[in-house]
Amino acid sequence: MIPKKNKKKFCIIAKVGPDHFVKYRSNDLTNFFNFLIKKYGSVYYANVFSNKGPDENKMIFTYGKHKGLQPAYR
């Protein structure tokens, strides 16, 4: 029997360059954004989607380089 992989809590799609987007999965947003800024230098914006719970596959947070992490507009 093959064990089931644990899903990460969040899927993040971020714009890190004028025409460059990246997609990552993470459980911890604070450490993730520290990693992203350290690796790419600047993050224009990012959208955070939930992979678990009642909001599965919905955008729950948005990140902007001037405003930081905020709840998504609903």
Q: What pLDDT, in 10s, does the model give residues 12-50? A: 999 999 999 999 999 999 999 999 989 998 889 999 999
5 lies in some domain:
no
Domain-embedded: residue 51 = yes
This prediction has a pTM of 0.83
Q: Provide CB contacts within 8 A for 22, sequence distance 6+.
A: 13, 14, 16, 36, 40
41 falls within a domain? yes
- CA atoms 38, 70, 63, 60: torsion sign: positive
- Contact criterion met (CB below 8 Å) for 9 and 51: yes
More confident position, 72 or 7: 72
Q: Does residue 3 lie within any of the structural domains?
A: no
Cβ atoms within 10 Å, residue 56? 10
Tell whether 48 is covered by a domain.
Answer: yes
Residue 15 forms part of a structural domain: yes
Instruction: Count up the domains in the chain and report the number.
Output: 1
Determine the 3-state secondary structure of 72 from DSSP: coil
Give the three-state DSSP class for 42: coil
Within-domain flag for 4: no
